Structure 1
Amino acid sequence: MDNEQLQKLVEKISLEAFGKPFQHKAVFNPRLRTTGGRYLLQSHNIEMNKKYLDELGMEELVGIIKHELCHYHLHLEGKGYQHRDRDFRQLLQKVGAPRFCSPLPANVVKRQQRKILTYICKSCHLVFSRKRRIDTKRYVCGRCRGKLELKAIDHSGV
Structure 2
Amino acid sequence: MTQQELQQLVEQISLEYFKRPFRHRVVINHRFKTTGGRYHLADHHLEFNPAFLTAELRTDLIGIVKHELTHYHLHLLHRGYRHQDRDFKVLLQQVGGSRFALDVGNRRPQAKKFHYICTNCGQQYHRVKRIDTRRYRCGVCSGILKITTKM
TM > 0.5 between the two? yes
SS in 1 for 2:44: coil
2:146 matched residue in structure 1: 148
Letter in 1 for 2:134: V
Letter in 2 for 1:83: H
**Shift in Å, 1:131:** 3.2
Contact 2:133 2:144 (C-alpha < 8 Å) held by counterparts: no
1:39 matched residue in structure 2: 39
1:27 matched residue in structure 2: 27
Distance 1:130 1:55 in 2: 39
| Superposed CA offset, 1:30-70 (max 9, x none) | 11121011000101000011111228521111111000000
Distance 1:62 1:72 in 2: 15
Q: Are the structure 2 counterparts of residues 33 and 5 from structure 1 closer, same or farther at C-alpha, using a change threshold of 3 Å?
A: same
SS in 1 for 2:54: helix
Distance 1:13 1:147 in 2: 56
Distance 1:88 1:147 in 2: 47
1:120 matched residue in structure 2: 117
**Shift in Å, 1:149:** 3.5
Structure 1 residues without counterparts, runs of 5 or longer: 152-158
**Shift in Å, 1:147:** 5.8
The CA RMSD over aligned residues, in Å, is: 3.0
Contact 1:55 1:104 (C-alpha < 8 Å) held by counterparts: no
Structure 2 residues without counterparts, runs of 5 or longer: none
Contact 2:67 2:98 (C-alpha < 8 Å) held by counterparts: yes
The aligned runs of 1:1-158 (5 Å cut-off) are 1-54=1-54, 56-105=56-105, 107=107, 119-122=116-119, 124-125=120-121, 127=123, 129-134=125-130, 139-140=133-134, 142-143=136-137, 146=144, 148-150=146-148
Contact 2:3 2:28 (C-alpha < 8 Å) held by counterparts: yes
Instruction: Name the % identity.
Output: 42
Letter in 2 for 1:70: T
Contact 2:72 2:81 (C-alpha < 8 Å) held by counterparts: yes
